[in-house]
Structure 1
Amino acid sequence: MLDKIQEAGSSKSTFYTLLGGEQGGTAAIRLLVETFYDIMDSDPKAAPIRAMHSADLTAAREKLFMFLTGWTGGPQLYIERYGNPFLRRRHLPFSIGESERDQWMYCMIKAMQTLKMDEVLMQKLAEQLYGVADFMRNREAE
């Protein structure tokens, strides 16, 4: 699903490989997701999107972890358990505009920064995630 990205001066790799592959990619994605939801759960800037989630974030954490593992080029955990993610369809019950997209991206970028992710990798990953987050919008610009 994810196009391979070109790592400077080397062969093409997926984000999953760049995050550590089988040796560390899964752990890196788990840590990213946990940090992301910890930020969403505590940062007032993310309060509107936090309110869209249930009080218990356990299921959301697990589903995002499973999705991102496959999306980055690792094992297709989400698809194996739930089938096609149909992301936009699954997000239709929620009113998502530019503000919600930007709050989601704020949490994700802050999580990557908190984890001190490589700057180039973080920028490339954020660019790709922005496209996904923007695709979730189902409300016109205000």
Structure 2
Amino acid sequence: MELPIHSHYSMLGGEDGVRNLVNRFYDIMDELPEAWELRKIHADDLQSARDKLFKFLSGWLGGPGLYEAEYGHPRLRMRHAPFPVDTQMRDQWLLCMDMALDEQISDELLKTQLKSSFAKVADHMRNRSG
């Protein structure tokens, strides 16, 4: 399957770029005291979370639909329903992702587009008040 040349997936560097972004995101989440509440709702071993986010982002960013092929439709709100996603969790998630994007992407327009897209999705994931 030929992928769009100007997809966010391609602009990030394809599989390697997306995997690097995901790994850096989880490394930051694991290390950053400001993300402690977010980190504690994850399993001790982050490998499964890394793999699922990589597969989801691959398709979401315009690359291969790896997540859908393995798990079906993402149904993000349903899959996040068991977790208390309030404004604080959203903000901690975005803090980690924004830091990873700042470290991994030098193209300012791409970075701005991705931050905006991630913010919309993260806000949509909120399932608790506060």
TM-score (norm 2): 0.93
Bigger fraction of residues in helix: 2
Match of 2:6 in 1: 13
Distance apart, 1:113 and its partner CA = 1.3
5+ residue gaps, structure 1, are: 5-11
Match of 2:103 in 1: 114
In the aligned structure 2, how far is the partner of 1:45 from the partner of 1:116? 22
Alignment partner of 1:36 is 2:25: yes
- Letter matched to residue 17 of structure 2: A
In the aligned structure 1, how far is the partner of 2:45 from the partner of 2:80? 18
Match of 2:79 in 1: 90
The number of residues matched between the two structures is 127
1:1-142 map, 5 Å: 13-19=6-12, 24-141=13-130
5+ residue gaps, structure 2, are: none
Q: Deviations over 1:94-124 (max 9, x none)?
A: 1111111011010001011122432211110
In the aligned structure 2, how far is the partner of 1:101 from the partner of 1:61? 18
Identity %: 47
TM-align CA RMSD: 1.5
In the aligned structure 2, how far is the partner of 1:31 from the partner of 1:50? 19
In the aligned structure 1, how far is the partner of 2:109 from the partner of 2:75? 29
